[in-house]
Amino acid sequence: MVAESHAAHLSQFMKDVIADTPGGQKVVHCLQCGSCGGSCPNGSEMDFTPRAVFAMIAADRRDAVLQANTMWQCVSCYLCTARCPQEIPITEIMYALKRMAIREGKAGGSDAPALAKTFTDFVDRYGRSFEFGIATRYLLFNKPLSMLKMGGAGMSMFAKGRLALTPTKIRQVKQLQAIIDKARELSNED
Amino acid sequence: MKYAYYPGCSLESGSAAYDMSVRAVIEQLGFGLDELDDWNCCGATEYFSQNELVATSVIARNLALVDDQHDQLVAPCAACFLNLKKTDKLMAEQPKIRAKVDQALAAGGLRYQPGRVHVRHLLDVLYTDIGEEAIRAKVVQPLTGLRVAPYYGCQIVRPLNGFDNPEYPMKLDEMFTWLGAEVVDYPVKAHCCGGHMTQISEEHAFELIRRLLQSAADYRADLILCMCPMCQLNMDMYQGRVNNFFNTKFKLPIVYFTQMLGVALGIDMKKLGFGKELVAAEPVIRAKLEGQMAAATK
Amino acid sequence: MAEKIGVYVCHCGSNIAGKVDVEDIAKWAGENLDDVAVSRDYKFMCSSLGQQMIEEDIKKEKLTRVVVGACSPHLHEKTFRRACSNAGMNPYLMDLTNIREHCSWVHKDRAQATEKARALISAAVQRVKYQEPLEPMFVDVNPATLVIGGGIAGLQAALELADAGYHVYLVERMPSIGGHMAQFDKTFPTLDCSACILTPKMSEAGQHENITLLTYAELEEVSGSVGSFKVKIRQKARCVDYDACTGCGICVEKCPRKVLDTEFEAGMGNRKAIYMPFPQAVPRVPVIDQDSCIWFERQKCRACEKLCPTDAIKFDQQDELIDIEVGNIIIATGWKPFDSKKIPQYGYGRLANVYTSMEFERLCNAAGPTNGKIVMRDGKTVPKSIAIVHCVGSRDDRHNPYCSGVCCMASLKFGHLVLEKTDAEVYSFYIDMRTNQKNYEEFYQRLLGEGMRFVRGKVSEVTDAARMPTEQGKLIVQCEDTLIGRQQRYPVDMVILMGALEPQEDARELGLKCGISCSMDGWYTERHPKLDPVATMTDGVFVAGTCQGPKDIPASVAQGAAAAARVAGMITKGRVMIEPIVATINEQACSGCKICNNMCPYNAIEFLEDPGVSRVITALCKGCGTCVAACPAGVITGAHFNNKQIFSEIEGILWDALQPADDSSPQAEPVPASAS
Ligand SMILES: Cc1cc2nc3c(=O)[nH]c(=O)nc-3n(C[C@H](O)[C@H](O)[C@H](O)COP(=O)(O)OP(=O)(O)OC[C@H]3O[C@@H](n4cnc5c(N)ncnc54)[C@H](O)[C@@H]3O)c2cc1C
Ligand code: SF4
Ligand code: SF4
Ligand code: SF4
Ligand code: SF4
Ligand code: SF4
Ligand code: SF4
C-alpha cells in the first residue's frame, strides 16, 4: 500500500484513478505481469490490455487511455481481479475509467455509454428495468440496422412472453428519486 | 435465520422461468422465502459505469428495505447478487462513501447499517443451508443418464463469493450428483458468457458464446445448467445466430439449475417454466429420462 | 535514594530523529526526571564514540545507573552492557529502551511518536533505579552438535564440524540423507550431475567416525540452553535391524507390494513396501512403509523376513526415544514444494500433461522412472513442444508474496535438458528473468543461443478447451505477451509448473521446540538479516540453507559452512555466558505445594523431598516468569523482573498522569492480588 506521504510522487492521472477507485491504492504495485490482459475474455478486442493501461496511467498518458476502448470492452467478469497476483481491483478501476471518460467527455468512440445511459434513465423513472426493452430501444435509436438482424430471435422471445414492453413501476418511485437526486448532488460536490 | 427474496428485474420478464422454478422448488423443499417489498433495480453494471455514489445508493435502498424480521437477502441473479454484496462491503469498508450513502438514503427516509443483511446467492443457500441430506431426501425423479454441464459464469463465483472456488467452482457440480445426474467436468464452466458484449461488439460476443457451447458439446453434454439470466439469454437466444455465424449446429438447451432441480423433485415441468427457452429442453430431458419419468408420474 | 542516572537518547542517524524529537527528550529528561545526573542525545550511540561518551560519563560523573533510548535490545543490549562493564559498572544496572521499532518506525505523527518515546524513557529511568547488580553465569559448551535435516546444507555443516574433530548427531526424517538435491538430474549453472557431486558427501557423512547418523528420525523435545541442550530424538520404527542389515536389497527385490512413490519419485515412479528411496541411499538400510506392507494390512506375506540372509526384518520394532546432549543445534530442514492444485486454472491434477517442476526433475533424471527419457504421461510419446510456467505460487499475494529465487534458473536448466534430449520447442513464460548469481546471466545467454523461446507474461491459464483445429488435443497456454501487448495462445504438448519453494509444514512447530521463530512467510528468522544470517535470537541455535529462505545450492552450502564455523567458535571458546536472569525460590517461605513444578515449561524446578520445598535449577531456567506468577505464596522472585522494577516502570510510563512523586512510594500503589 502506498503510504499517503508517498502519493505525491505519482502521476496526476494515477492519483485521480486512485481517488476514484475504492481500494485503488494497490494499483501502484502492478508488476506488469499481464495476468489480467492474458485472462480477459475481451482482451483481444481492446486497444490496450488492462496491464498496458496501468503502465500508461503511471506514465500519465491520460487522453490515450480515456479515449481507448479498453474499459468499454470490459463486461465486469472479474476474471482479471480474481487472478491478479497483486490483488489489484482491476474491474473496479475499469469502472472508474468509464466514469472518468464520461465525465471528461472522452468516451466518444464507444456505444456503451449511450447504452448505460438508456438503462439508468429507465431505472430513474420506474425503479426497475426491463433489459430487452432497453436493448431494443437502445438499438432502435443507435443501431437501427442491427434491429433487423435480431428479427427472428426477438420475435420468438416476444412470442414466448419473454419480451416485456414496459417495465414494472415500484410503488415508492418518489422515495427512490429523492435518494438518486441526493446522491447526484453529493457526488457533484467533489 | 429468515430469508428475504430479491428476484431482480430480469426474473420479472425475460427470465420468468427462473423465478417460477425458484418459487416452486423452494415451496417443495418446505423453505421460507419472502419477497422483498417494493424492491428496485440493482443497476446491473450500468450505474457503476456512470456514478459510483448513485449506484451504491440505489442498491443500498434494497438493503435498507429488508425489515428486522429478516437477516438474509437471497438473489438468484448473478449481477444482483454481486451488486448487493459489493454495496454492503463498500459501505462497511469505505467510511467516506458510507457517509454520503447515509445522507442519500436519509433523503428517502431510510437507513442501513452495513453488515446487518447477509447477501446470499440462491445456490449457496440451497447448497449450504438446505444441504445435501434434505435435498437428497426429496428427490423422486433421479436425473440418471442425463449429462448436465453446470455453468457458473463469472459474477457469482468471483470476486466476493466466499462460498466456492472462483476459478474452478464445484458446488453446482456436487448438487447435481446428489440428483443422480452425470455431471460434465468441462474447462470453461466459469468463463465469461460475454455479458452485455452482444450490444457492444456482436461478433466478439458470438465467439465467446461459441466457446462455451463448443466445450459443452465436446464433452457431450445434453444441456447446460445456468444460474444467471444474462448467461441464459446469451447462450439461448443467440444460439441460432451463433450457428449461422460460425456455420455450427449447436442444439443445446440452456436451462436454469432450479428448473432441473425441480424436475428431480418431481415438480410438473409447466410449473417450472419449461417451454420459455428458445432451444427446447423438454424433448431432450424426456428422451433421456423416459421410462423413468413415466414411472415417477404414476 | 541517591542514584545518579545517565540518560542517552540516540538519533540512529535519521532512523529515530526523523520521527522523534530526541534533543527535546534528552533535555526534558535532564531537567525533569529525578536522579538524572546527565542526559544527552547523540547521532549514533552504538558507535565507538557514543560508547566512549557513556564510559567517560560513568567514570567522571560517578553514574550509578544508565538508561539508553535507542533500538531493540536484540541488537545492542550487549553493546551497552559492555560499555558499562568497561567503565566498572555492573552491566545489569543499564536499561536499553526501544524508541526505534516501538516509536519512530511505527508511528506517522511526529508529536505522538515523541510523546511515546518520552514515556518510555521515563519508564526506563524509574525502573533502572530498582535494578540489581547481577553476575553473569558461565556454562561449559558440550562439544557435540545436533544438525537437523540432511539436505545439502545440513550435510555441509555436519561434515565441517566432524572434520574439525567434533561429534555431530545428524537427524534426518526420511530414510536417507540427501534432501532435494538427491532428486535432481543436473544442477545449474554448470550442469554437473547432481548425484556425482552429492553422493560422495553423503557417503562421507555415512562413514564419518564423528557423525552419528539418525535417519528416519525426528526431533521430539529440546530442553536446556546454549552450551548444554538435552534433546530427545524419536527414531521411527524401520522394522529392520539397523546393525544386522547388510543392505543387500534382496528384501526390496522380492517384496510383492508396489506403491506409488510420492516422496522421492514425486509421484512419477513406484517403490516397494520395503524400500530404500534410491540406489545411492545413505544409509543402505531399508524401511518398511507400514501403511503399504501386506503383513501390516492383513497378516500375510513376510517374504522379506523369509528371504533376508541376516534375519534383519523385525516387524515388531517400535519407535524408540533417544536422549542426547549437545552444546549447539543447527537447523537445516530445507523447503517443500508448492501445491500446484491451489491454482486450478493451471490444470494440474486435471490435465494429464501438466507437470510440477519436481516431477520433471524425476522425468529428466537418468536414474528416474523413464531413465531420463522425456516422454508424456502415456509413457511413450515424446512431446513436440513444452511450456515452462514461471512464478507458480511465488510473487503472488494469494499464495507467497516472495520470489523463490531459483526457479528462473531451474527453468533455463529444463530448457537446456529438453533441447539436448528432444527436438521439442521450449517456451519460458516469465515475468522477470532472475539470474543474478555468478555465471547465471551467462547461462541465460547460453539458452537464448540454444533456441529456447521466451515470452514475457505470467500465464493466465492452461486449458484443453480448443478454439481452433490447430489447438485440438493440445494443452493451450494463454497469456499476454506483454512485450507486444497482445493476448496469445500457445498450443503445446506438455506444461511444467515452476512451483514456489515453501517452508516445511512443521517449520513453526520445530522452531518452537528449539526456541526460534519464523517470519510471516514461515522461514526461520535469522538474528540479523545482513550481519548475522545464520545465528538466531536463541543462543546456540543456528539455521542454514533454505529453511531460512529460498536459495540455491551454493548459498545453502555456504550457510551450512558458516553455521558450522560459528559452532566451532563456540566449542573452541569452551565456555559461554548465560544470562543470570533466572527465578529463585525463597526456600524458607516455600510451602512445598509443588504448583510451580509442573508449570515450568522448561522443567527447571525440582522438588527437594527432604526439606519439602521446590528449587529452581538455574542452568535450565530461562527466566520466563511463569512460576513467579503461579506461586500462591508469592515467594518466587524473577531476577531483573521483580515487582518493584515492573511497577515503577509502569509508573514511569504514566508520568504525565501521576502526581510528581513526593511521598508515594511504588509499594503504596494497589498491587494486583495475584502478585502479592
Ligand atoms: C525444480 C528445482 C530445481 C532446482 N535446481 C537447482 C540447481 O540445479 N542448482 C541449484 O543450485 N539449486 C537448485 N534448486 C534449489 C535447491 O533445491 C536448494 O537450494 C537446495 O535443495 C537447498 O538445500 P537444503 O539442504 O537447504 O534443503 P533440502 O534439500 O530441502 O533438505 C532438507 C532436508 O531436511 C529434512 N527435514 C525437513 N524437515 C525435517 C525435520 N523436521 N526433521 C528432520 N529432517 C527434516 C528433509 O527431509 C531434507 O532431507 C532447485 C530447486 C527446484 C525447485
Ligand atoms: S473484468 Fe473486465 S477487464 Fe477484467 S477480465 Fe473481465 S472483461 Fe476483462
Ligand atoms: S494482473 Fe495485476 S499485477 Fe499483473 S499486470 Fe494485471 S494489474 Fe498488473
Ligand atoms: S511383509 Fe511387507 S515389506 Fe515384507 S515383503 Fe511382504 S509386503 Fe513387502
Ligand atoms: S534382505 Fe535383510 S540384509 Fe538385505 S537389505 Fe533387506 S533387511 Fe537388509
Ligand atoms: S526465480 Fe523467477 S520463476 Fe522463481 S519466483 Fe522468482 S521470478 Fe518467479
Ligand atoms: S522462570 Fe520459573 S517457570 Fe520460567 S523457566 Fe525459570 S523456573 Fe521455569
Tell me the pLDDT tens digit for each residue of B82-127.
999 999 999 999 999 999 999 999 999 999 999 999 999 999 999 9
The residue ranges of DSSP E strands in C506-625, in sequence order, are: 541-543, 575-578, 583-585, 605-608, 613-616
A162: nearest Cα among A153, A171, A170: A153
Q: Indicate which ligand has the atom closest to the C-alpha of C258.
A: 4
* Domain boundary assignment for chain C: 5-134+644-675, 145-335+503-573, 339-501, 583-639
Q: Are C407 and C390 in contact (CB under 8 A)?
A: yes
- Cα separation, B204 vs C472, whole angstroms: 21
> Which of C400, C431, C551 for a ligand 6 pocket mutation test, highest count of atoms within 8 Å of Cβ?
C431
Residue C5 has pLDDT above 60, yes or no: yes
Cβ-based burial of B28 (10 A; exposed 0-12, middle 13-18, buried ≥19) = middle
> What is the SS3 assignment for C133?
coil
Domains and CATH numbers, chain A: 4-103 (1.10.1060.10), 112-189 (no CATH)
The DSSP call for residue C381 is P
Cβ(A127)–Cβ(B37) below 8 Å: no
Q: Is the CB of C266 under 6 A from ligand 7?
A: no
ipTM for the predicted complex comes to: 0.89
Residues in A touching C391 (Cβ below 8 Å): 33, 85
pLDDT band at A139 (very low <50, low <70, confident <90, very high): low
The answer on pLDDT for A127 being more than 80 is yes
Whether the per-residue pLDDT at C618 is higher than 90: the answer is no
Q: Which residue has the cell 516509536?
A: C103
In Å, how far is A43's CA from the nearest CA of chain B?
A: 11
B neighbours by CB contacts (3+ pairs under 8 Å): A, C
| Distance in angstroms (rounded) separating the CA atoms of residues A163 and C451 | 59
pLDDT category at A1 given cuts 50, 70, 90 is very low
> CATH says C583-639 is which class?
alpha beta
Please write the tens of the pLDDT for every residue from C174-218.
999 999 999 999 999 999 999 999 999 999 999 999 999 999 999
Rounded CA-CA distance C121/B156 in Å is 55
Contacts of B5 (CB under 8 A, 6+ apart): B22, B33, B34, B35, B36, B73, B74
CATH assignment of C5-134+644-675? 3.40.50
Average pLDDT, chain C: 94
Mean pLDDT on B281-289: 92
Superfamily of domain C145-335+503-573: FAD/NAD(P)-binding domain (3.50.50.60)
A2: which residues sit within 8 A by CB, 6+ positions away? A10, A18, A25, A28
**Using a 6 Å cutoff on CB, does residue C622 contact ligand 6?**
no
The yes/no answer on whether domain B3-121 falls in CATH 1.20.1050.140 is yes
pLDDT at A133: 53
Atom of ligand 1 nearest to the CA of C182: 29
Instruction: Pull the grid cell for residue C318.
Output: 517400535
pLDDT at position C666: 46
pLDDT of residue C621: 85
Is B118 at the interface with chain A, CB within 8 A? no
From A35, A56, A81, A87, the mutation candidate for ligand 3 (largest count of ligand atoms within 8 A of CB) is A35
Residues in chain C: 676
pLDDT at A155: 67
Ligand 1 atom with the smallest distance to the CA of C217 is 43
- CA dist., res. A115 & res. A119, Å (int): 6
User: Which residue among B10, B12, B49 sits closest to A95, beta carbon to beta carbon?
Assistant: B49
The residue written with cell numbers 423438454 in the block is B282
- A171 pLDDT above the threshold of 90: no
**Of residues C344, C466, C467, nearest to B168 (C-beta):** C344
Sign of CA dihedral C406, C541, C177, C559: positive
H or E stretch at C557: helix C553-573
β-strand pairing of C287-288 with C274-275: antiparallel
pLDDT at C413 over 80: yes
CB B62 within 8 A of CB B38: no
A128 has a chain B CB within 8 A of its CB: yes
Count, residues in chain A: 190
Averaged pLDDT, C399-412 = 98
Ligand 5 environment, Cβ below 6 A: C 240, 245-251, 286, 308, 310, 312-313
Residues 202-231 of B with CB under 8 A from A: 202, 204, 208, 229
DSSP string across C405-423: SSHHHHHHHHHHHHHHH--
**Ligand 2, atom 6: closest residue by C-alpha:** A77
Degrees, nearest 5: CA angle C73-C90-C121: 45
Say which CATH architecture domain B139-297 belongs to. 3-Layer(aba) Sandwich (3.40)
Residue C1 binned pLDDT confidence (cut-offs 50, 70, 90): low
Fold exhibited by the domain C339-501:
FAD/NAD(P)-binding domain (3.50.50)
Q: What is the mean pLDDT of residues C654-662?
A: 72
Domains C145-335+503-573 and C339-501 share a fold: yes
